[in-house]
Amino acid sequence: MSMTISKSERRTGVLLNYLGLAGVVGFFYAGHLTSWNYIMIVFLGLSAVILLVSFFRYFLFTGLWRFVHTESANLDERQIMVTRESLRLSYSVFTIVSLVVFLWISFYHTGDANLIVIFAGLLYLAHILPATIVAWKEKEV
């Protein structure tokens, strides 16, 4: 089943999904740090509902999830370029966000300055990994 919805509605759905994700992570973390109470549990549950409903409506039912997870052999050239660019940008953002979270944890939660070396190593790895894959797989560059 594949629904067609407008670009602005898709964007709204994606933002709702991110809001749900942020709520689930934030309220779970806040509940863990403080003490769980009914208000925290209600907001966590509401966030989970927003996350799930928006995922099914805007990613699964529209076919976007399947599209970006399809093997390139089953796509035409335009679709390959669209998925390639989406993967390039999304993994760049994911790497930056993940490393910023890791850096924040290393500074504010552990107090362990040695984790900065791990952070620097992961940042370096994030930059050389795509070139490593090309070097490993391709006969000529």
Q: Of 105 and 39, which is predicted with more confidence?
A: 39
* Nearest in space to 31 (alpha carbons), one of 18, 44, 21, 22: 44
Percent of the chain with pLDDT over 70: 91
Q: Please check whether residues 97 and 79 belong to one and the same domain.
A: yes
What six digits make up the tokens of 17?
């999904």
Domain that holds residue 131: 73-141
The domain tally of the chain equals 2
Q: Please check whether residues 94 and 43 belong to one and the same domain.
A: no
Confidence check: pLDDT of 21 > 90: yes
Q: Domain end: 54, 69, 84, which one?
A: 69
Q: Please check whether residues 138 and 88 belong to one and the same domain.
A: yes
| Contact between 2 and 62 (Cβ < 8 Å) | yes
Q: How confident is the model at residue 57 (pLDDT cuts 50, 70, 90)?
A: very high
pLDDT tens digits, 24-44:
999 998 998 888 899 999 999
Q: Please check whether residues 108 and 133 belong to one and the same domain.
A: yes
Q: Domain end: 69, 92, 108, which one?
A: 69
| DSSP single-letter state for residue 114 | T
Mean pLDDT lowest among 11-15, 74-78, 107-111, 122-126: 107-111
Q: What is the pTM of this model?
A: 0.76
Q: Please check whether residues 33 and 87 belong to one and the same domain.
A: no
Q: Please check whether residues 62 and 89 belong to one and the same domain.
A: no
- Written in H, E and C, the secondary structure of 50-84 is HHHHHHHHHHHCCCHHHHHCCCHHHCCHHHHHHHH
Query: CB-based burial of residue 12 (10 Å sphere; 0-12 exposed, 13-18 middle, 19+ buried)?
Result: middle
Q: How confident is the model at residue 79 (pLDDT cuts 50, 70, 90)?
A: very high
| Contact between 54 and 67 (Cβ < 8 Å) | no
Q: Domain end: 15, 37, 69, which one?
A: 69
* Nearest in space to 29 (alpha carbons), one of 19, 40, 15: 40
Q: Please check whether residues 4 and 63 belong to one and the same domain.
A: yes
Q: Which runs of consecutive H residues, i.e. helices, occur in the chain? A: 7-33, 38-55, 64-68, 77-105, 115-137
Q: Please check whether residues 98 and 140 belong to one and the same domain.
A: yes
The end-to-end CA distance of the chain, in Å, is 41
Q: Please check whether residues 26 and 78 belong to one and the same domain.
A: no
Q: Please check whether residues 65 and 88 belong to one and the same domain.
A: no
Q: Please check whether residues 59 and 82 belong to one and the same domain.
A: no
